[in-house]
């Protein structure tokens, strides 16, 4: 990320895949300028209709954040906090991502934006995740009780270990992605690196 006082430009870039060019974003006095896969545009800050911040881990990077920025004409771009380095390495860009997202919000607020600011998953998706977790918890409890009833203590221990690992991995995702709204001056800390 580069910040220059002379031309008041804040920039951020990441590689979404190994092949192809980097996705590049700049915050200029005119608006958010972006260049993605041969396409580019300049969105004025007051034309940005929505921003959704979320926590989106993947197998190669368990600490990944995402910002979905929507334009009034229906366009949408995603900004990720990680960048592909090699076939086996996805590098975090936590500081640059955080600074860029905070600066974007500050510039939008200064421009008088009326964008919808939301965090986490959509309400329906979040409800589906909670229902799935409730069903899975009930199934695991039934298996645990069955293992204890037949004296299969190694199986019960395995179920407990698996449940603890699953709760640790999925619990952070569910907690961070709880649907909520936020304001330009109160960005959700749990959704920024």
> What is the reported pLDDT for 5?
45
Which phi-psi region, left, alpha or beta, contains residue 168 (left: φ > 0; alpha: ψ -120 to 50)? alpha
Tokens of 94: 């936590």
Per-residue pLDDT tens for 3-30? 444 446 689 999 887 777 889 999 999 9
The mean pLDDT of 124-151, rounded to a whole number, is 94
- pLDDT higher than threshold 50 for residue 122: yes
Fold classification of 2-119 (topology level): PH-domain like (2.30.29)
Residue with the bigger pLDDT between 128 and 85: it is 128
**How many whole angstroms separate alpha carbon 126 and alpha carbon 146?**
30
- Does residue 45 contact residue 107 with C-beta atoms inside 8 Å? yes
Res 2 pLDDT > 70: no
Q: Are 53 and 66 in contact (CB under 8 A)?
A: yes
The pLDDT value given to residue 60: 60
Radius of gyration over alpha carbons of the chain, in Å? 21
Contact 107, 47 (CB under 8 A): no
The answer to whether 40 touches 33, Cβ cutoff 8 Å, is yes
The mean per-residue pLDDT over the stretch 37-64 comes to 87
Note the pLDDT tens digit of each residue in 58-107.
Answer: 766 678 899 999 999 999 999 999 888 766 677 888 889 999 999 999 99
Residue 69: CB partners within 8 Å, gap ≥ 6?
Answer: 32, 43, 48, 50, 51, 76, 77, 78, 79, 104
Give pLDDT, residue 188: 93
pLDDT (0 to 100) of residue 82: 87
39: left (phi over 0), alpha (psi -120 to 50) or beta: beta
* pLDDT digits 0-9 by tens, 144-176: 999 999 999 999 999 999 999 888 888 888 999
Residue 6 DSSP SS3: coil
Mean pLDDT, residues 111-128 taken together: 94
How large is the average pLDDT for residues 111-131?
A: 94
Reported pTM? 0.81
Helix, strand, coil shares of the chain as percentages rounded to 5?
A: 40, 35, 30
pLDDT, residue 59, reads 63
């Amino acid at each position: 990320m580069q910040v220059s006082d002379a031309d008041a430009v804040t920039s951020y870039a990441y590689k979404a895949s190994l092949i192809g060019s980097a996705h590049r974003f700049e915050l200029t006095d005119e608006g958010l300028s972006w260049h993605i896969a041969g396409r580019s545009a300049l969105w004025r800050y007051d034309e940005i209709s929505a921003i959704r911040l979320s926590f989106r881990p993947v197998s190669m990077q368990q600490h990944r954040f995402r910002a979905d920025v929507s334009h009034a004409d229906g366009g949408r771009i995603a900004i990720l906090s990680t960048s592909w380095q090699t076939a086996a390495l996805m590098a975090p860009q936590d500081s640059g991502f955080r600074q860029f997202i905070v600066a974007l919000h500050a510039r939008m607020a200064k421009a008088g934006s009326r964008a919808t600011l939301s965090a986490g998953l959509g309400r329906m998706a979040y409800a589906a995740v909670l229902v799935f977790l409730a069903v899975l918890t009930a199934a695991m409890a039934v298996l645990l009780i069955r293992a204890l009833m037949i004296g299969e203590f190694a199986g019960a221990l395995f179920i407990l270990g698996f449940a603890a690992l699953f709760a640790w991995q999925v619990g952070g995702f569910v907690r961070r992605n709880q649907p909520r709204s936020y304001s330009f001056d109160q960005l959700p800390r749990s959704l920024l690196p």
